Amino acid sequence: MPDDTALLLERHFDTAFAAPEGVQKLRELILTLAMQGKLVPQDPTDPPASELLKEIEAEKQRLVKEGKIKKAKPLPEIQPEEVPYELPDGWLWVRLGMCLLKITDGTHHSPPNSEVGDFLYISAKNIKDNGVLLENATFVSKRIHEEIYSRCDPEPGNILYIKDGATTGIVTINNLEEPFSMLSSVALLKQPTQVDNYYLLFALRSPFFYSEMRLGMTGVAITRVTLTKLNYAIIPFPPLPEQRRIVAKIDELMARCDELEKLRAQRDQQRITVHRAAIARLLDTTTQPATADFGEAWQFITHHFGDLYTVKANVAELRKAILQLAVMGKLVPQAPNDPPARELLKEIEVEKQRLMKEGKIRIQKPLPELTQEDTPYDVPDSWEWIRFEAIIDISSGVTKGRKLEGRKLVLLPYLRVANVQRSYLDLNVIKEIEIPTEELERYSLQTEDLLITEGGDWDKVGRTAIWNSELPICIHQNHVFKGRKYLERQNVYWLEKYLNSMPAREYFAGASKQTTNLASINKTQLRGCPVPLPPLSEQHRIVAKIDQLMALCDQLEANIETTTHQQTKLLHAVVAEV
């Protein structure tokens, strides 16, 4: 390898290790340098590539005379404007068809094929970087195989190139000893003895060749690279001994890339594992924030903050841990002067009774009182475990598809499950529905109403957000429950945080009706959800602390994005210099 190239690669192995897609970019850089003649030194005693071309042409003429291949049409000379860069002495730019004995593809008419038969039938789905994989392969009859094989006869060591569809450009070496038939989505490239098949493989995988083939693919339903385009494509062509030296060096450097990827995966997994253990220790402490065990666990995280929060997975786990600490009473210290939660519960009960007397809310059949077994963990003395219905009026939404003939209707926007995400509303797509005018008050949303999803996929059960009058008027579908506070001073933001935390999610998962990959809760199960209630003042302090720490998480993710962008930009700049 030339000294300046060796220094370039060595200098940027660390850069590649740091950047998210760095190892892949490094692989591309290695192939680019190889195809420019910069990966290994040239040997002036090597016979030039021009001599190889003469030998290849002589072999072609012999095979034509023997009737083994058809005589190909002469290929046009390469024009100066086609050449992207200069090559070392002894190399040539050649059209792909000049250095191959044959370029063809499989059958253009998909034949009858099944799981049993006489000969393997290979299509693009079987072509992988490491060879032909037989998973999901099918078979054809001997008659069909002989018809296809008479034109397209892959042999061990030949090049197989996907030329149709989304995976166009994947190229491999045939590793099968047995004969097989192919579909036209795969091209067969038969190389002569004067071409190292692994050099050809790397040339076709190089960024230059890949981009040239992907550019201007034709077709309507399925885009493709034509055989003509492959035949006319140009590649750099070194002397045969240098081809072999290049292949050996690429293998050596790719092995280092493999090791880098392995080390990177191990490092990231170690960070995730250590972080999970630290968070688990933090959550497992049964003490309050001011005590030694809790402080020691938190100190470990803060001490290793820079190392732990360089991957987004750990930031996501930190968000969950913040919520869990909050709902367990471990995020902020308790204040002895706060009126206990039971005082707030008394006020709410008085208001509930008044509203029931006035007929403004329905009298619900009472649910059983909570027992110790119903509560997932202990809470501070000033807190209370209560059922959700004790502090929130829950109602269902409008049902679609009702017969409403003869009634005065109004067309209104309504919220679906898709609009209610965890802790936020997605209002990009709002649908409308007609309801009778007399139902408007029943289904209309008010500021600070809680919106809780009935279910669907597992991640949708109990998903909660808050309505803040984003639209002048809006209603909700029956798959989204509405939760309305009884007192103006109740803190619905505390309830939203809890309903989106892991303890509540585990309750919903356990209580939900389950079918294949789906889950849902009914109104009774939502009414019965156990909720920890801190003193009102502490609720405000907890919500403020959560918001502060979530903003920190936002900043951590932004820092990761910035670092990632800078590392990627640096690596791209290195590659661009080549």
Q: What is the pLDDT at residue 257?
A: 87
Q: What is the pLDDT at residue 557?
A: 82
How many angstroms separate the Cα of 578 from the Cα of each of 6, 33, 371, 472, 504?
Answer: 13, 7, 70, 58, 55
Q: What is the pLDDT at residue 576?
A: 57
What letters, b where the CB count within 10 A reaches 16 and e where it falls short, cover 338-369? bebbeebeeebeeebeeeeeeeebeeeeeeee
Nearest to 422 by CA among 362, 496, 317: 496
Which amino acid makes up residue 344? L
Query: Encoding tokens for residue 100?
Result: 């191959």
CATH of domain 47-238: 3.90.220.20
Q: Give the largest CA-CA distance in the chain.
A: 105
CB neighbours of 35 closer than 8 A, spacing ≥ 6?
A: 202, 203, 206, 208, 235, 236
The reply to whether 374-534 shares the fold of 47-238 is yes
- Where exactly are the structural domains of the chain? 47-238, 374-534
Query: Encoding tokens for residue 539?
Result: 């609720």
Taking the CA of residue 15 as centre, how many other CA atoms within 13 Å lie in the half-sphere pointing to its CB? 20
Q: What is the pLDDT at residue 287?
A: 43
Tens of pLDDT along the chain (578 residues) come to 555 555 556 655 666 556 667 788 888 889 999 999 999 999 999 999 999 999 999 999 999 999 888 888 889 999 999 999 999 999 999 999 999 999 999 999 989 999 999 999 999 999 999 999 998 899 999 999 999 999 999 999 999 999 998 899 999 999 999 999 999 999 999 999 999 999 999 999 999 999 999 887 877 778 889 999 999 999 999 999 999 999 999 999 999 888 888 887 887 787 777 767 766 766 665 444 445 555 666 666 666 666 666 677 778 888 888 888 899 998 899 999 999 999 999 999 999 999 999 888 887 788 888 998 999 999 999 999 999 999 999 999 999 989 988 899 999 999 999 999 999 999 999 999 999 999 999 999 999 999 999 987 777 899 999 999 999 999 999 999 999 999 999 999 999 999 999 999 999 988 877 665 677 889 999 999 999 999 999 999 999 999 988 888 888 888 877 776 666 665 556 555 55
Bridge partner residues of 128 (DSSP):
131
Nearest to 419 by CA among 360, 472, 475, 492: 475
Q: What is the pLDDT at residue 517?
A: 64
How many angstroms separate the Cα of 513 from the Cα of each of 375, 465, 479, 524, 525?
Answer: 21, 22, 14, 12, 10
Q: What is the pLDDT at residue 6?
A: 57
- Output the DSSP codes for 496-551: HHHHTSHHHHHHHHHHSEEETTEEE--HHHHHT-EEEE--HHHHHHHHHHHHHHHH
Q: What is the pLDDT at residue 318?
A: 81
Question: Quick one: CA torsion of 422, 423, 426, 427, rounded to 10 degrees?
Answer: 140
Alpha-helix runs per DSSP H in 285-330: 292-303, 305-308, 312-327
Question: Quick one: CA torsion of 159, 160, 164, 169, rounded to 10 degrees?
Answer: -60
Class level of CATH domain 374-534:
alpha beta
Q: What is the pLDDT at residue 290?
A: 45
Phi then psi dihedrals of residue 469, to 5 deg: 55, 45
Q: What is the pLDDT at residue 183?
A: 94
- Sign of the CA dihedral with 552 first, then 555, 559, and 564 last: positive
- Count how many residues are written for the chain: 578
SS3 162: strand
DSSP state of 114: B
Q: How far apart (Å, rounded) are the C-alpha atoms in residues 297 and 303?
A: 10
pTM for the whole structure: 0.63
How many angstroms separate the Cα of 487 from the Cα of each of 362, 437, 491, 492?
Answer: 17, 27, 9, 10
